Amino acid sequence: MKCEICNEREAAIHISKGSGLTHQEQYLCEQCANQSMDINYNQTDNPFDIQTLLKMLAGNSKRNQTETEEHACPTCGATLQSIVKNGLFGCSHCYEYFERYVPEIVTRVQLNQQRHIGKIPSQAHDTLKLKRDIETLERTLQEKVKTQAFEEAAVIRDQIQELKDGGAHE
């Protein structure tokens, strides 16, 4: 893999910063890593000694923490950090204020689902399942008609009718 800064030398260093919404990764060669981290070049041993790395990481975490604390909803005062931690927005204005973060927050809270699933009331579960089954069969029926598979379409049409009649023709 090539260095992400110079695109010339082979990347030898993997840098991972932050977590959650502020997570960033970089793959750098040694020269670009030295320049980007502002490490003391006078060190003759290893420029990536543990103390230098820990100082650098501590500085980055403080900077990232102040960046996320600065974002607070003007209506309810909810911060981006609290929304990510709890998975709950403070008010309806938070959706507008944190608009650019909403897709990532929803994806994270919904366990990597791309759309909101929500909950189904227990008494409506059977009705909604029946409705979804009918919709799925109707889409399949349209596909069969388009491909001119009329025998299969007739079978699907009969299945839809049975579901709509309450399964009385089984």
Same domain, 95 and 126: no
Q: Is residue 54 part of a domain?
A: no
Domains identified in the chain, total number: 3
58: in domain: no
Place of tokens 């990481």: 57
Does residue 142 share a domain with residue 113?
Answer: no
Whether 154 is covered by a domain: the verdict is: yes
- Which range marks the domain in which residue 89 is found? 71-117
Same structural domain, 112 and 135? no
Same structural domain for residues 108 and 129? no
Q: Is residue 65 part of a domain?
A: no
CB 73 within 8 A of CB 98: yes
Q: Which of 74, 79, 77 is nearest to 20 (CA)?
A: 79
Strand partners, 27: 14
The single-letter DSSP state of residue 25 is E
Residues 141 and 156: beta-carbon distance below 8 Å? yes
Look up residue 52 and give its amino acid. T
pTM over 0.75: no
Q: Residues near 3 by Cβ (< 8 Å), separated by ≥ 6? A: 9, 10, 11, 27, 28, 29, 32
For residues 109 and 78, state if they share a domain.
Answer: yes
Residue 42 lies in a domain: no
Rounded Cα distance, 127 and 109, in Å: 27
Residue 64 lies inside a defined structural domain of this protein: no
Q: What is the pLDDT of residues 5-58, one digit of tens each?
A: 888 988 888 787 777 677 778 888 888 877 766 544 444 455 556 666 666 666
The reply to whether 126 and 162 lie within a common domain is yes
pLDDT of residue 60: 56
Which residue carries 């609290």 as its tokens?
82
d(CA 97, CA 22): 17
